[in-house]
Amino acid sequence: MRLTSKLKLEQTKNKLRQAELKVSSDSIDFNAASANYKTAQDQYERTKELYQQGLKSLTELENRNLAVQKTKSDMISAENKWLTSKNEAINAQVEFFSIQAQYEYEISKTESDKNTALSNKFDASAQVTKLENQYQNYLIRNNLYYITAPQSGYITKAIQSGLGEVIKEGTPIVTIMPSHYDLAVEMFVDPIDLPLIQKGQEVRIQFDGWPSIVFSGWPNASYGTFGGKVYAIDNFISDNGKYRVLVTPDPKDHLWPEALRVGAGTANMLLLKDVPIWYEMWRKINGFPPDYYKKQNALTKSEKKQE
């Protein structure tokens, strides 16, 4: 609209300038016609005097009279054209100011509509934010009707029972058995033996229900004991006066049976060193822990050469 108003005003200025030039041209024509009329009148008066003196004929006097009437008519026509041109110039000037005012009004109205639209946009954004906040409040309040577990599983025991019972925050409700879990053996070690336990140490495990004596032709149950590795060691003693050690499957050994379930019993064995009888008796009397095999990293050939 600003560009259109600029072009329209430029066009109207050109039109106004043309009208002003036409006024000047018609004014010059009117002045020329007035001069011709005055000249024709003077010639008529002289011819009339000469006619009265008998020096000019009546025909010449009549011709001069016709010339006076013709120049007067031309003068009136030129004046009429001049006044018309002045009116056209005034109309062009009025049109210029009218177009200027019209476009200023339309541009102001458009800017007002634009600002109104922006205001409505901000109001809509504020309303959307308010509705989102309200939705989140409703969602949180709706979620309070349900108590969800931290992971998928099966309910093994209901601690709280009854209808309409009030439960405080932090109160145990049920015990859950995870549906997806990694098997590990929970092994308890006496405090005297704990210093000899290390992460990654190999353990042999005998599961309850899996025979330690090999039966020929019994698939997946002819391994006797299964391999495991120490995964984690508790830093604090348990209620039974022993330290808990977690043992996970050894990836280099046979896979643990698929039928194992959480809570099954095990018998775990750690390999001891070969020692003399007198040492074993002395250890028992003095209350020293047994010596377990410890994994030692063999030196590479390059390290041996450097030594």
CATH architecture of 2-125: Orthogonal Bundle (1.10)
Query: Do 88 and 19 form a contact (C-beta atoms < 8 A)?
Result: yes
In the CATH scheme, what is the code of domain 180-295?
2.40.30.170
pLDDT at 210 over 50: yes
Q: CB-based contacts of 164: which residues, under 8 Å, 6+ apart? A: none
Angle at CA of residue 261, ends 257 and 263, nearest 5°: 125
Kindly report the average pLDDT of the chain as a whole number: 81
Residue range(s) of every CATH 2.40.30.170 domain in the chain: 180-295
CATH 1.10.287 domain position(s) in the chain: 2-125
pLDDT digits (tens, 9 = 90+) for 89-115: 888 888 888 888 888 888 888 889 999
- pLDDT for the residue numbered 293: 66
| Cα 262 from chain centroid (whole Å) | 46
pLDDT at 246: 95
Supply the pLDDT for residue 301. Answer: 43
Is the model's pLDDT at 218 over the cut of 80? no
pLDDT tens digits for 137-183?
A: 998 888 777 777 788 888 888 887 777 777 787 888 888 888 888 88
Q: How many CB atoms lie within 10 A of CB 111?
A: 11
- In whole angstroms, what is the distance from residue 105 CA to residue 100 CA? 9
